[in-house]
Amino acid sequence: MLGSVVGSGELILTTTLGASVGFVMLWWVLLSCWGKSIVQAELGRYTVSTGETAMRAFNRLPGKLPGRRGQVSWFVWFWLASMIPTLIGGGGIYGACGQAAADLIPLAGAASWTLILAAAAALIVFWGSYDTLERSMTFMVVVFTFITLGGAVCLQFTPLALTGDELRNGLRLEFPAFAVAAALGAYGGTGVNASDSMAYTYWCAEKGYARYVGPRDLDAGWLRRARGWIRVMQIDTVLTLLVLTFATVPFYMLGAGVLKRLGLLPSGSETVRVLSHIYTETLGPWASALFLVGASFILFSSMVSGLAGNAHLFAEALVILGFIPPEGEHARRKAFRAFALGAPAVMATTYFLVANPVWMITLGGIMGALMMPLVAGATLYLRYTHVDRRISPGALSDVLLWICWGVMVVLGLYAVGRIFWA
């Protein structure tokens, strides 16, 4: 989960937003961190208690469209359409990771490294050999997060130190009209976004949470197991929330405190080199290599975890649409592996065509921002129609879920309105 949520959104989109607007949207970044984890937790509750993963669960939503073998939910078709900007955004992640690797190990150019890393990610997901990488990536993500937090602290001992007035201004709910695209991209690409929340249900299934609970019945043993594994899932959620907050906020502060004041904005082939200033200006020139190592790990972790999550969703969508028989596990595995090999090729190609990681990842983030209210609304529907009442969330969780969904809808409409109003 950490490998997925602490990645390109935090490193690139959050930092770029800070570089664009300064400190005035700190409130927005905090909302992005805290407002989506409740959706992750409630969707995880559904999976642990029913054994159904996200795509199959969302096929229960009202509103049907034709599929190959019957009617399917509109959400499944909409998700497939959303993969176009998502793959473009993924291409930006691949390209940024290639830039970081090329600066760190200049034995090949950024284009060559992009292809090498895309092939590596494809093979890891194809063969399912993620366990060892998972442990090393988790270690690197946590270490890089706390080094970045240290950089934000060191910022206060430089001429670029932030002031109390700037911090207070960051909590005043200002929304600069010129930054709508960057703000939506950062919101959709940071924290536990729509794709992460859906992919998390597959991690719950693969880790065995629902399997250990067993099929739902009236037995007291099932109820005890369900409550116990839901608590385990909630620990996932809380730990992820803590780490992503400690990752996202420092990146934003460094973008606003360093890049904005130096007049630097990440873009094109200089994206990673510009971002490295957040380390070199706070920790010293020696920290450039440290930044490149951490950035490479974080971006590659995003590549692998994002590819695996979307491959699961893609294979499940083909089953629901009728292109794969429900009992065809072999065919499902073939679809998963086909996506694992084909999607990196598509994403790497889009990077070569556009060659602007910030713009590409922003586009993917905007798509994520549009998806998030839909995922939250769908989770609300499942909570009241399909979750066993014996393990329903408490009143506080219900209130928080409704508030999160309402805030997502209102702010989304407000952001779109600012585009036309401006």
Helix, strand or coil, per DSSP, at residue 193: coil
DSSP 8-state assignment for residue 73:
E
Give the Cβ contact number of residue 220 at 10 Å. 9
Cα dihedral 311, 92, 119, 240 sign: negative
Cα dihedral 202, 206, 207, 212 sign: positive
Q: What tokens does 120 get?
A: 């590596």
Q: What tokens does 72 get?
A: 């399917």
Mean pLDDT by 10 residues, the chain (422 residues): 72 91 91 86 88 92 90 94 93 94 92 95 83 71 80 85 86 84 88 87 81 80 88 87 85 91 89 91 89 88 87 92 84 92 95 92 90 93 89 88 90 74 61
CA distance 385 to 146: 41
Amino acid letter for position 319: V
Model confidence, pTM: 0.89
Alpha-carbon distances of 312 from 262, 315, 333, 355, rounded to whole Å: 43, 5, 9, 28
User: Domain spanning 2-421 has what CATH number?
Assistant: 1.20.1740
Nearest Cα to Cα of residue 17 among 136, 134, 269, 185: 185
Nearest Cα to Cα of residue 303 among 107, 33, 101: 101
Cβ-contact 120, 218 below 8 angstroms: no
